[in-house]
Amino acid sequence: MTTTIPMSITVDGERHDLDVDPRTTLLDALRERLGITTTKKGCDHGQCGACTVLLDGRRVLSCLTLAVAKDGAHVVTADGLATDGELHPVTEAFLANDAYQCGYCTPGQICSAVGAIDEARRGMPSAVTADLAADVTLDRSEIAERMSGNLCRCAAYVNIVSAVEEAAHR
Amino acid sequence: MRPFTYARPDAAADAVATLAADPDARFLAGGTNLLDHLKLGVVEPTQLVDVTGITSTEITELDDGGLRIGAGVPNSDLAADPRVRERYPAVAAAILAGASGQLRNMASTGGNLLQRTRCAYFADPTTPCTKRDLSQGCSARGGWARYHAILGASEHCIATHPSDLAVALVALDAQVQVLGADGARTIPIAAFHRLPGDDPTRDTVLAHGDLVTAVDLPAPTPAVANSTYRKVRDRASYAFALVSAAVALEVREGTVVDVRIALGGVAHKPWRATTAEAALRGRPATDDEFRAAIAAELEAAEPVESPLGGNAYKIPLVTGTVVSTLRGLAGGVA
């Protein structure tokens, strides 16, 4: 017998109150409890990145996050990136660059790209940043490294890098 | 997943007391390793005690010129801190060499040190593993041992420690601040992780209920300011180390004045190469000296042979990695 715990979470601007079993991941809370299926379940073990969302502004893996531990948090999925019916620049760039094939990994790729571009703008280095003390320029090698946590089994990587590059320099 | 209850105490002492009173309780921080293990059935706690709100997320200056890193500082923030990037490049480089952007945003400093081995048999409860259960045997010996230890292993366990950060911290002589049921204490990072010996279930010297509260970096020396981390893996990103090396070097007029070398991917804990360091101090900073020093360190190596893939390849790989990293820090081509 498991006791559920009340919590609230804001997803794409809308607040939800729910009771959760402590075992419920944020991913399962989104998909199974709130019916928000934009966020995809791939490996469910933190290896593929399909479940990436922005949690309080940072890209994280919702499959390795317990919902109960994020009471009061703000989550943005790929759906919530649009404003006033206008697609987010990263989403536009994915369309313009044909940066997907089957599309299953795309919501996670887009959330991850938004997070990665923001991290670079805040000056956060990566493993391929030549000078750790210098500013970061998002070239193709930096983008590939920063997006390495998002797998695409269709291997649309070349166009994904192009899309992120275009969005980053817009 | 077995049912568990969830608690979020307001103070570190409460969290420690809760765990000390409940052998089946676990701390929850970033959760990146724990959630995976809960799903796999590797661990089955009945209570999770969330410490994310009570461990510090600040990096502060110490009076001795060092830095104190709160245990709750996310890996990404630690690697991005300008003071860490400038004064302790090996620390920033080690973190950035591990995991993915998402995982580094989630994972905490304390949790990084406490992550468990990625031995495939440890993660699979359907196979015997002494690290999960002392009464079982080791499946890796004679099994898929490509990622496993060449130094300091025991008959019971040949697992390696997976952390990149810990390797850099060992090279830099960091100190781990711990709060236990009997109060606070400081553990040198070199004495924090264990070799497997007769009890591979214990990765560290911590007792149940001990909470890592901070990691202290000592004031940087010229060698530490000239430090880096080199990681060799099966793919260019988002993979665990086959071998890695955190190296700090100070050379004056062609002579090695100070050197620190810690190796990852070779042992149950980050391996401080004290034999190689002693062999190099006061010697010319040349490839021949570098090679002889790491050869002396690896005299104790015992690679594992296995029909499914052994790990003798790690001896030349460690040698090349350390020699080229030393050469780069000495001003040559890495």
Closest residue in B to A118 (Cα–Cα): B101
A133: confidence class by pLDDT, cuts 50, 70, 90: confident
Question: Pick from A42, A77, A112: which residue ends a domain?
Answer: A77
pLDDT of residue B248: 98
Q: How many domains in chain A?
A: 2
pLDDT of residue B334: 77
Query: Domain containing A160 — which CATH number?
Result: 1.10.150.120
Q: Write out the residue range of the structural domain in which residue B244 sits.
A: 222-329
Residue pair B216/B226 in contact by the 8 Å Cβ criterion: no
Whether residue B200 lies inside any domain: the answer is no
Give the gap in angstroms from C-alpha A168 to the nearest C-alpha of chain B.
16
Whether residue B320 lies inside any domain: the answer is yes
Residues A132 and A99 in one domain: yes
Whether residue A118 lies inside any domain: the answer is yes
Closest CA to A76 of A96, A97, A94, A91: A91
Residues A94 and A59 in one domain: no
Residue A136 confidence (pLDDT) above 80: yes
Residues A63 and A108 in one domain: no
**A50 phi, psi to nearest 5 deg:** -60, -25
Give the gap in angstroms from C-alpha A104 to the nearest C-alpha of chain B.
18
Whether residue B174 lies inside any domain: the answer is no
Whether residue A51 lies inside any domain: the answer is yes
How would you class A102 by CB atoms within 10 Å of its CB: exposed for 0-12, middle for 13-18, buried for 19 or more? exposed
The dihedral through the CA atoms of B31, A25, A109, A151 has a sign that is positive
Residues A120 and A155 in one domain: yes
Q: How many domains in chain B?
A: 2
Q: Which residues of chain B have pLDDT under 50?
A: none
Whether residue A119 lies inside any domain: the answer is yes
Query: Domain containing B44 — which CATH number?
Result: 3.30.43
Whether residue B71 lies inside any domain: the answer is no
Which of 104-133 (B) contact A at CB < 8 A?
105-106
Whether residue A84 lies inside any domain: the answer is no
ipTM score of complex: 0.98
CA atoms within 13 A on the CB side of B264: 30
For residue B28, give every residue at least 6 positions away whose Cβ sits within 8 Å of its Cβ, in sequence order, or none: A66, A69, B34, B48, B49, B50, B51, B52
pLDDT of residue A134: 84
Helical (H) or strand (E) element with B228: strand B227-232
A30–chain B Cβ distance below 8 A for any pair? no
Which of 45-84 (A) contact B at CB < 8 A?
45-46, 49, 52, 58-61, 63-66, 68-69
Residues A159 and A93 in one domain: yes
Whether residue A14 lies inside any domain: the answer is yes
Residue A1 confidence (pLDDT) above 70: no
Whether residue B251 lies inside any domain: the answer is yes
Query: Domain containing A12 — which CATH number?
Result: 3.10.20.30
B183–chain A Cβ distance below 8 A for any pair? no
Query: Domain containing B302 — which CATH number?
Result: 3.30.390.50
Residues A69 and A128 in one domain: no
Closest CA to A156 of A97, A77, A78, A79: A97
Residue pair B249/B327 in contact by the 8 Å Cβ criterion: no
A132: confidence class by pLDDT, cuts 50, 70, 90: confident
Q: Write out the residue range of the structural domain in which residue A37 sits.
A: 5-77
Whether residue A82 lies inside any domain: the answer is no
As a whole number of angstroms, the distance between CA B186 and CA B191 comes to 10
Whether residue B92 lies inside any domain: the answer is no
Whether residue B267 lies inside any domain: the answer is yes
Question: Pick from B15, B30, B48: which residue ends a domain?
Answer: B48
Question: Pick from A55, A77, A99: which residue ends a domain?
Answer: A77
pLDDT of residue A135: 85
B238-252 pLDDT tens trace: 999 999 999 999 999
Whether residue B286 lies inside any domain: the answer is yes
Closest residue in B to A67 (Cα–Cα): B6
For residue A121, give every residue at least 6 positions away whose Cβ sits within 8 Å of its Cβ, in sequence order, or none: none
Is A123 within 8 Å of B80 when comparing Cβ atoms?
Answer: yes
